[in-house]
Structure 1
Amino acid sequence: MMTNLFSTFDPSTSSNLSLNWISAMIGIMILPLSMWIIPSRINMMWIKLSTALNKEFKALLNINFNKGNTIMFISLFSMIMFSNFLSLFPYIFSSTSHMSLTLALSLPLWLSFMIYGWTNNTIHMLTHLVPQGTPGVLMPFMVCIETISNVIRPGTLAIRLSANMIAGHLLLTLLGSTGNKLSIIMINLLIITQLALLVLESAVAIIQSYVFSILATLYSSEIN
């Protein structure tokens, strides 16, 4: 029987432990981690990078018509850059060095742009086949040239990325395979050269992912 009206607010439980106070902490679990954890330098760097890419892609795209497209291209940049960096570690499969991945990224993008452009903006796509100011005699040739250059775009995107990644990895592999035949002095020079090439490959990993996403953005902007 309750002896006191205010005993209902007693925090004690049947086990004589003040476990009821834990229920007051449940609300903390609803709050996001950003309220408690200071963002790390890597997190801040990634936020600044994503913001810079978002501004740059917005400048290339017609935002009034392509809202949200920048997220797709930022995700594409992130995926390619992570794959490029992971391939620099030993015993990790270099996925971006193979056409099966790079062509699988470029071909669906190009096909979707072409299908959307020719379906919704047919006249605009036809005007791209003939540059402004082209003489009438050269118009048939310009149409053929522009058509060929448009068709080979997914191939050039895929080959550019895979060829650049293959070239650096192949050079590192060839130089590393000669280490057991060199003297101590030459091995030291080889290590320095390998480190310099590794730094260069790290820059190439970022540049190639940036070039791929920028070119995909430019191809997307042409259909509007």
Structure 2
Amino acid sequence: MMANLFSTFDPTTFLKLSLNWLSILIIFFFIPSLFWLIPNRLNFMTLKMLMTLHLEFKILTKKNNTLIFISLFFFILMNNFMGLFPYIFTSSSHLVFTLSFALPLWISFMMYGWLMNTYHMFAHLMPQGTPPILMPFMVCIETISNIIRPGTLAIRLSANMIAGHLLLTLLGNTGPMVNFLIFIVLLIQFLLIILESAVAMIQSYVFAILSTLYSSEV
């Protein structure tokens, strides 16, 4: 049962290639339309969201270079939403996908901080007002918290996407066994779809906002 349950997250292979990962490229079919279609409601909503994110990230970073975080938000958001459609591979539920964003960002932040702002990075290991007896412990705690940041970013996103899909799979498997409660099961699945849509937006926003906060510290 568990093997069949988690097999929904296994990429199918053909000629030794995991073709399900090609679902990441679906987003690129929607980008060119913004360059030749007349302004529509979808275009207006996208631009409005982009400007809102730019202003918010600009306050956190105190700089105008927010393009990488906005692009990261939209890319993860589209992949999260694509995973909600039937028979489309959920790439954001795999640590390979999430770590490929979290780890390079964290490494670049750490390299820039320790090479360009070494004194600030050392000062960040010791919060202001720490009692002298707790200083060695605070240095260890801050060091560990910095090291585990890419793992927490990646695991948070993948775990939230896996949890909702597992619930939908469980309800889908129990539907034929409870014919007299099929309408209740369908209602619960409909509510879970709405919840998963909210989770897809929230998790992409959390990933982008945490990356912005980590960059502002260096």
**TM-score bracket relative to the smaller structure:** 0.7 to 0.9
Cα shift readout 1:174-215 (whole Å, capped 9, x = no counterpart) = 01101111124x101111110000000000000000000000
Largest Rg, 1 or 2? 1
Paired residue for 1:112? 108
Structure 2 distance, partners of 1:80, 1:40, is 23
Structure 2 distance, partners of 1:80, 1:37, is 24
1:98 and 2:94 matched: yes
Paired residue for 1:46? 46
Structure 1 distance, partners of 2:153, 2:215, is 14
Paired residue for 1:169? 165
Matched residue of 1:91: which SS? coil
Deviation for aligned residue 1:37? 5.6
TM-score, normalised with respect to structure 1: 0.80
Cα shift readout 1:116-147 (whole Å, capped 9, x = no counterpart) = 00000000000000000011111111000000
Aligned pairs for 1:25-64 within 5 A: 38-63=38-63
Consecutive unaligned residues in structure 2, runs of 5 or more: 1-32
Consecutive unaligned residues in structure 1, runs of 5 or more: 1-32
Cα shift readout 1:129-175 (whole Å, capped 9, x = no counterpart) = 00000111111110000000000000000000000000000000001
**RMSD of Structure 2 on Structure 1 (CA):** 1.4
Matched residue of 1:132: which SS? coil
Aligned pairs for 1:1-224 within 5 A: 38-63=38-63, 67-68=64-65, 70-184=66-180, 186-223=181-218
4+ runs of 1 displaced by more than 3 Å?
A: none
Structure 2 distance, partners of 1:62, 1:130, is 23
Aligned-residue identity in percent: 63
Q: Could you tell which deviates more after superposition, 37-46 or 51-60?
A: 37-46
Matched residue of 1:137: which SS? helix
Matched residue of 2:99: which SS? helix
Paired residue for 1:20? none
Aligned AA (1:81): L
Aligned AA (1:145): I
Structure 1 distance, partners of 2:175, 2:39, is 43
| Residues 37, 94 of structure 1: alpha-carbon distance in 2 compared, 3 angstrom cutoff | closer
Number of aligned residue pairs: 185
Deviation for aligned residue 1:55? 0.3
Paired residue for 2:17? none
Matched residue of 1:177: which SS? helix
Deviation for aligned residue 1:42? 0.6
Q: Could you tell which deviates more after superposition, 120-129 or 174-183?
A: 174-183
Structure 2 distance, partners of 1:202, 1:196, is 10
